[in-house]
Amino acid sequence: MIEAQTIVERIQAALPDARVQVQDLTGTMDHYKAVVVSEHFAGKTLVARHRAIYQALAEEMKGPIHALTLEVFTPEEWDARG
């Protein structure tokens, strides 16, 4: 099991400007949804954005995280959502 705050910290360590929200989807602390907003994503494909997050969580994805749903945005994309 892994705490949501630990996931936030790992992502922010890799992407210091990131705004991160993490939600435990099942209450079992191994299925999460993360919404990440970062300037780092500018000009990158969705796959490249996801890879950046998976790299930040490489060790956690080997065990404590069983499933991770991602929504990734640049600040401009996030703001455009309203």
Q: What is the pLDDT of residues 13-70, one digit of tens each?
A: 999 999 999 999 999 999 999 999 999 999 999 999 999 999 999 999 999 999 999 9
The dihedral over CA atoms of 13, 16, 21, 25, expressed in degrees to the nearest 10, equals -30
0.85 cut: is pTM over it? yes
* CATH classification of the domain holding 36: 3.30.300.90
- In this structure, the number of other CB atoms found within 10 A of the CB of residue 74 comes to 17
Q: Does 77 have pLDDT greater than 90?
A: yes
Tell me what pLDDT residue 82 has. 80
What is the reported pLDDT for 49? 98
Nearest to 64 by CA among 29, 22, 36, 13: 29
* Nearest residue to 73 via CA among 19, 9, 14, 31: 19
What's the domain range around 69?
4-80
Q: How many domains are contained in the chain?
A: 1
- Coil, helix or strand at residue 37: strand
Q: What pLDDT, on the 0 to 100 scale, is given for residue 38?
A: 98
